[in-house]
Structure 1
Amino acid sequence: MRISNVPSITPRYWAAILVASMCGANTGDFLSHNLHLGHTRGLLPLALLFLAILWIERLSRWVTEAYYWLAIIVLRTAATNLADLGAHDLKLGYDLLIGALTVLLIVAVAADRGGKRAEVNAVAAGVPATTPLYWLAMLTAGTLGTAGGDFIADEWLGLFYGAAILTVIYAATLAAAPHLGGMAKPWYWASIVVARTAGTILGDLCASRRGLNLGLPLSTALTATLLAGIIILWPRGRAPLVAPSKLGDATEP
């Protein structure tokens, strides 16, 4: 994506990521349960929709973050179904699923070393460099966060305690940003995973009968509206939480 269409990594970004995680958790469940697509039949349409978003963004002259956030929602929706597919349909078990996804995420992040001028410019601007490996890592982080959130809520703490504790952990992760030194890139992806985990539990808390019992349609609509409100009403800043030069490993060729 063009830099002008990618949000800078500010508190606004992290608020939107959390709400997008909640929304994507709900949309994933809505597709599989309410629309009766299961955990597999919706994946191909979601993949095509994601590619269409990137293609339209590439051709369009319209400058807007909507492309980025739509792509995030689509990936988050797919991640919800992929995690449920692995945990429930394939019965891989949370230990194996979380372990495998963690390894895949580490490999994807480590392989995304940058090097192209566009990626260098993105790092300098304090925005994510949206390479193919970035999107793969984002999908993997979303799937990992879904599996982790379901494990915490279903097997360990429950929805209310899980939501409270993960929200505190998320806030603490973001508060660590000024003290990172050279660890900004691992911090970014760790924060994404925590946001996905917290978003899964919070999304389920809103929709589930074990939580606020809003139902998937209403919870999806509310979280989508909240995300749109953050994007539209919260001024877009250019003061990243960490030094832009530390956000990636790209170096100008």
Structure 2
Amino acid sequence: MEQSEVLTGAAARGRVTSVTKKLPEVTLAFWIMKIAATTLGETAGDLFAQTLKLGYFLTTIALFLMFVVTLAAQLGSRRYHPFFYWTVILSTSMAGTTMSDFMNRDASAKYLSGGATSLGWGPQGLGLGYPVGAAVLISLLLVVFAVWKVSGMTFQIRDIVTFRGEALFWSAILVSNTLGTSMGDFLSDSSGLGYAGGALLVTGLLAVLVALMKVPVVPNVLLFWIAFVLTRPLGATAGDFLTKPVAKGGLNLGTVGSSAVLLAVLLGLMTYAQLRERRASA
């Protein structure tokens, strides 16, 4: 991504301050990395919470703290660093997975395999269910966007250059990734579509959004945020398709192996993005 300069409030005082952009350009590579990160977020979140049996409660706390640490590094950087940016995306996807599971699920046999009656220490889940959980998260996301609108900050991510604007951006990302997990789990577990069917449905919706980009009356900013939310259930259903048992419609590759492969793919993409960024700024 080419670095550029924008006018800040200092211009009103008679001078112009250069501000280097800290968020990436939205390209095809951006969406490929987003889907890879959200799919890894699903398998890694399930790895800690279910495979390692830490439970939704402890895993949510640990992954939320990871999100805070990665976000601090991103907010503290002076320019766009692909590793910082995509690590935050990954941490929001992982935290969103277990936050959604904690909100929507409970310790019933429907959600726990192998006859288990509990999963890790602490509360076993609020058991709100996917519709109620999604309604809560949609309400939270609308609140974030309302605050964002009132603040006067731009919704165009290429023009977000202030600390407050970036804080609003990452708040929306965390909530949208949690919402996307709820949507993905609903499609996989409750809609009857199954993992592959849910992934195909979301892929079809994303294709419609691509077509709408050619319609002048539809704002691209709106399409971006709808796509950003929808790529999370795509990652959730794809992650479940990779890890869940064959009897449930999955490939039964396991959370460990799937997470390792997805992590290698994401690291490769992040390295490529970092090299491109260095060449662009040289």
Q: Same fold (TM over 0.5)?
A: yes
Residue 127 of structure 2: which of 80, 86, 91 is its match? Answer: 91
1:211 match: 250
Closer, same or farther in 2 for the Cα pair 1:51/1:178, shift >3 Å? Answer: same
Question: What residue ranges of structure 1 are gaps of 5+ in the alignment?
Answer: 238-253
TM-score normalised by L of structure 2: 0.73
2:215 match: 179
Q: Aligned partners of 2:135, 2:234: CA distance in 1, in Å?
A: 18
Q: Aligned partners of 1:180, 1:37: CA distance in 2, in Å?
A: 49
Q: Deviations over 1:10-57 (max 9, x none)?
A: 111111111111010111101101222211112232232222223334
Closer, same or farther in 2 for the Cα pair 1:104/1:59, shift >3 Å? Answer: closer
Which aligned pairs between 1:202-241 and structure 2 lie closer than 5 A?
A: 202-209=238-245, 210-233=249-272
2:175 match: 140
User: Identity across aligned pairs (percent)?
Assistant: 29
**Secondary structure of the structure 1 residue equivalent to 2:88:** helix
**Secondary structure of the structure 2 residue equivalent to 1:42:** helix
2:116 match: none
Q: Aligned partners of 2:181, 2:216: CA distance in 1, in Å?
A: 26
1:8 match: 25
Q: Deviations over 1:53-102 (max 9, x none)?
A: 23334555786211011011111111101111111121112221111211
**More RCO (CA 8 Å, sep 6+):** 1
Query: Which of 85-94 and 65-74 deviates more?
Result: 85-94
2:139 match: 103
Q: Aligned partners of 2:197, 2:155: CA distance in 1, in Å?
A: 41
* 2:36 corresponds to 1:19: yes
Cα RMSD after superposing both structures: 2.7
Which aligned pairs between 1:40-79 and structure 2 lie closer than 5 A?
A: 40-59=57-76, 64-79=81-96
TM-score normalised by L of structure 1: 0.80
Asked if 2 retains the 8 angstrom alpha-carbon contact of 1:8 and 1:125, the reply is no
**Secondary structure of the structure 1 residue equivalent to 2:251:** coil
Closer, same or farther in 2 for the Cα pair 1:229/1:175, shift >3 Å? Answer: farther
Shift of 1:178: 3.7
